Structure 1
Amino acid sequence: MPVLTSDSARGSSGKGAGLGLALVSAVAFGGSGVAAKPLIEAGLDPLHVVWLRVAGAALVMLPLAVRHRALLRRRPALLAGFGLFAVAGVQACYFAAISRIPVGVALLVEYLAPALVLGWVRFVQRRPVTRAAALGVVLAVGGLACVVEVWAGLGFDALGLLLALGAACCQVGYFVLSDQGSDAGDEVPDPLGVIAYGLLVGAAVLTVVARPWSMDWSVLAHDAPMDGTPVAAALLLAWIVLIATVLAYVTGVVAVRRLSPQVAGVVACLEAVVATVLAWVLLGEHLSAPQIVGGVVVLVGAFIAQSSTPAQGSPDPVASGGPERELSGRGRSA
C-alpha cells in the first residue's frame, strides 16, 4: 500500500530511516551464508540451495504478486530485469565464479558494484555525485579487500574474474532497478509487487540452471551440523527464505528509494562484514587482525557516503539524496 512522505521525510528523519533499512538488509543478506553453509556441507549443491532460497521466497510473496498483477501490464520490462539481474544473475554468476577463483577475490569483485553504480550515475545518467560519496566508495572497497583477505590465494582465472564482474554488474542492476519509478508520483511501482514478480522470474531462470529435480531432497528432513551443533535443515532453510531473502530484499529496495542507489550500495558492503562476523560466532571461522581493521574501514566508508551533503555549486548531487529522492509511494525489494 503506497505511503505518502512529506518533505521532512526526505530530510534527516527520512534519511535515517533509509539508513536503518539498509543496515537491516545488509544484516539479513549477510546471514544467508551462515545458514547455507551447513546445508551445503550436509550434501546439497550450492546451486540447489540458491534455488530453494529464491523459489521459497517466491512462494511466500506469491499472494502479493497476485495483488499487484497490474504491474505485469504496466512494468513488464522492470519485472523481467529485476528477476534476471537482481535475483538470478547475482546468484548464478557468483556461484559460478567461486568455482574458478577464491571466494575472497570473487566477493571483492562483486562488491565493486557501489563504484560501478557511481559510474552509472555520473557517466550514463550524467548526474553529479559528491566527493564524500566517492570517498566512501573507495574506503568501503579498500576495507572490503581486508575483510575478505584478497591477498590469500589470489589466482588469475580470466573466466572466473569475468563471472565475478558479471555478479557485480548484476548488483548494479539491483540498485538501479530498485530506484526505478521512485519519482513517478502516483504511478510509482509498488516495491512489494516488484520484488514478488522479480522472485518469480528469478526462480524460473534458476530452475533451468540448477535443475532441482536432481537434488537430494532427503537432506531437508534431517539435521545439518553448524560448527558441531546439529540444527534442523528445515529451520536453516526457513531462515534463508524468510530472513535472508524476503526481509533482505524488501528492506533493501525500500532503502534504495529513501537514500539513493550509490549510497545504499556502499552500505550494502556491510553484508560482507556481517557475514564474516557471523561466520566467526556461529561457524568458528575466526577473524584476523586485517579483517577487523577492514570491517572498521567499511563502516567508516558507509558512514561518510550516507552522510554526504550537496557539493558546493552542484545541483542536487545524487549522493546526498536531493529532490529526486522524493517518495510519493513505497514498498519493495529483492
Structure 2
Amino acid sequence: MKAVGLGIAVVSALCFGFSGPMAKFLGAAGLTPLEAVWVRMAGAGLILLVVLAIARPRALRIPRDRLLFFAAYAVVAVAAVQALFFLAITRLPVGVTLLIEYTSPVMVALWVRFVRRVRLPRTAYLGALIAVVGLAIVVQVWEGLRLDALGLLLAVIASACCAGYFLLSDSFSDDVDTLGLIAWGMAGSAVVLLPISRPWQIPWSAFAGAATLGGHTLPVLGATVWLILIATVAAYVTGVTAVRRLSAAVGATVASVEVIAGAVIAWVLLGEHLGAAQITGGVIVLTGALIAQSVTVRLSPAAATAPEASAVRLPSGRPSG
C-alpha cells in the first residue's frame, strides 16, 4: 500500500510538471498568466462537474456542515495557490518564488507536530529539509537574487496556502467525496479568480491558432486541453488520493518532485536545458522525498497515543477516495 501511495504521488507530481510548459504555450499565444490560470481552473471544474453529474451525481452532494470546508478548499487550496504564485513571480525571480513555495513540506511537518501534536519520525523532517536544499540548487537561488518585500510576502503566503492544500486534503472523512471536493474546488476557484483574471478580456481567437516555443509548435487548443485534463484534473485527483494514502507530511515532500518533472518537460518541449546544478539538485530532491516517505512505515509511540494521531493515517488505514 505504501508503494502504491508513493507511486500515485509521483504520478501527480509528473502531471503537475506539465502546467508550466503548457502555460508558456498559452502565454506565447497571447494569454496573461492569470488568464491562463482562470482557463485552467474553469475548464477543469466544468469538465469534472459535468462528468460527475452524469456518472456519479452523489459525489456532488455537499453536507451542510461541510460548506465552509468546501469554500476553504476552493479559496485556499486551489485559487490562492495558483494566483499568488503567478503574482509573486511578477516581483521575484521564478527560482526564488519556487523555492519559497516549496518550503511547504516543512510548514506541513511543523503544523502536524505542534498543532495536531503528532510526533513524526525524524525522517519526515530530514527528508523535507533535504528536499528544500535540493530545490535551492535546482533553481540556482544564488543567481540574480533580488528581494521585493511585497513579492516575498506573496510567495510566503503562497507557500502557506500550498501547505493548506496538503493539510485540507488529509483532513476530511468519508462524508466528503474526493472527486466532488476537487470539482467544486476548481469551479469555486474560477469564481473567486474572476475579478483579477478578467476572463472577458481573454483573446479567445488565439485558441484556434498555434504557438511555437523551443522549436516545437503546438496547437493552442491542444496545449489548453492538456493543461486542463493532465496538469489539473489528473494532477489534483492523484495528488489528493496520494495525500489520503501517505499523510500530508509525506505527500507534501514527495510533491516537490514536480519541480524536477517540470524542468525535464521544459527541457524536452521548450529546449530549456538542464545544467549540472539542476541535475545535482534533482537527485537531492528525490533523495529527500524517498527519505520522507519512510514516515509511512511507522509513527513514534507518542503519536500512537496522541488524541490527534488519527489525523495522520498510515496507508493501511487510508481510504482510497
Q: Contact 1:133–1:305 (CA<8 Å) still a contact in 2?
A: yes
Q: 1:181, 1:266 → 2: CA distance? A: 20
> Quick one: percent identity of the two aligned structures?
50
Do the aligned residues in 2 keep the contact of 1:178 with 1:257 (CA within 8 Å)? yes
Is 2:247–2:313's contact at 8 Å kept on the other side of the alignment?
Answer: no
**2: CA distance between counterparts of 1:284 and 1:322?**
41
Give the deviation of 1:199 after TM superposition: 0.7
Q: CA deviation at 1:315?
A: 3.3
Whether 1:258 and 2:252 are equivalent positions in the alignment is no
Q: Secondary structure at the match of 1:247?
A: helix
Q: Secondary structure, in 3 states, of the residue corresponding to 1:128?
A: coil
Segment of structure 1 superposing worse, 152-161 or 235-244: 152-161
Check the 8 A contact 2:119/2:300 in 1, yes or no.
Answer: no
- Alpha-carbon distance between aligned partners in 2 of 1:305 and 1:232, rounded to the nearest angstrom: 39
* Separation in structure 1 between the aligned mates of residue 115 and residue 256 of structure 2, nearest angstrom: 23
Contact 1:34/1:282 (<8 A) preserved? yes
Per the alignment, residue 4 of structure 1 pairs with: none
1:109 paired with 2:100, answer: yes
* Corresponding position of 2:12: 25
The aligned residue for residue 270 of structure 2 is: 283
- Residue deviations 1:18-40 (CA, integer Å, cap 9, x gap): 11110010000011111110210
1:310 aligned to which of 295, 298, 312: 298
1:175 to 162, 166, 177: 166
TM-score, scaled relative to structure 2: 0.93
CA shift, 1:73, in A, is 2.2
> What is the total number of aligned residue pairs between the two structures?
313
Pairing partner for 2:281 from 276, 284, 294 = 294
Compute the TM-score of the two structures, normalised by the length of structure 1: 0.89
Partner of 2:74: 83
Structure 1 residues 324, 300: CA separation in 2 closer, same or farther (over 3 Å shift)?
A: closer
Any unmatched runs of 5+ in structure 1? 1-13
Distance (whole Å) between structure 2 residues aligned to residue 34 and residue 313 of structure 1: 44
User: How far apart, CA to CA, are the structure 2 residues paired with 1:71 and 1:325?
Assistant: 27
**CA offsets, 1:227-246, max 9 Å, x none?**
12221000000000000000
Q: Give the letter aligned to residue 314 of structure 1.
A: A
The Cα shift of 1:77 comes to 1.3
Give, in whole Å, the separation in 2 of the partners of 1:264 and 1:57: 22
Q: How does 1:100-139 map to 2 (within 5 A)?
A: 100-139=91-130
The Cα shift of 1:152 comes to: 1.3
* Contact 1:137-1:302 at 8 Å conserved across structures: yes
Determine if contact 1:29/1:245 at 8 Å carries over to the other structure.
Answer: yes
DSSP 3-state at the match of 2:303: coil
Partner of 2:142: 151
Secondary structure of the structure 2 residue equivalent to 1:293: helix
Question: Mapping of 1:30-69 within 5 angstroms?
Answer: 30-63=17-50, 64=52, 66-69=57-60
**CA distances 1:147-204 after superposition (whole Å, capped 9, x unpaired):** 111111110111101100111011111001101224xxxx441101110111111110
